[in-house]
Amino acid sequence: MTRAELAKKVHETHGGMTYEEARQTVETVLALLAEGLCRDGRLLVSGFGTFKVVERKARTGRDLGKGSPVPIPTRKTVVFVPSRKWVKEAAP
């Protein structure tokens, strides 16, 4: 789902809100989530899941065109772990 699709859903759900207000709300919420991740490295949304910043180790990859080894440096990335509630509901 894209930001625009999310804003459209918020607009449709809350009839008293214009599309522009819904778009601004989505942007504000996403900015606050990003700020929390940068500050604390972890963001817990009860009943939904946890976003965590993890460090990926340096490794060696391959240049697909030449087949030669390419060093991939250490980097930080965000991972999402869904809450048990969502995992149970999604199971068949």
Looking at the structure, do residues 35 and 5 belong to the same domain, yes or no? yes
Looking at the structure, do residues 85 and 47 belong to the same domain, yes or no? yes
Looking at the structure, do residues 36 and 9 belong to the same domain, yes or no? yes
What is the pTM (predicted TM-score) of this model? Answer: 0.68
19-30 residue pLDDT tens: 999 999 999 999
Q: How many domains does the chain have?
A: 2
Q: Using the 8-state DSSP alphabet, how is residue 51 labeled?
A: E
Residue 85: domain span: 41-92
Q: Decide: 71 and 60 in contact? Cβ < 8 Å.
A: yes
Q: How far apart are CA 32 and CA 63, in angstroms?
A: 37
52-89 residue pLDDT tens: 999 999 999 999 999 999 999 999 999 999 988 766 66
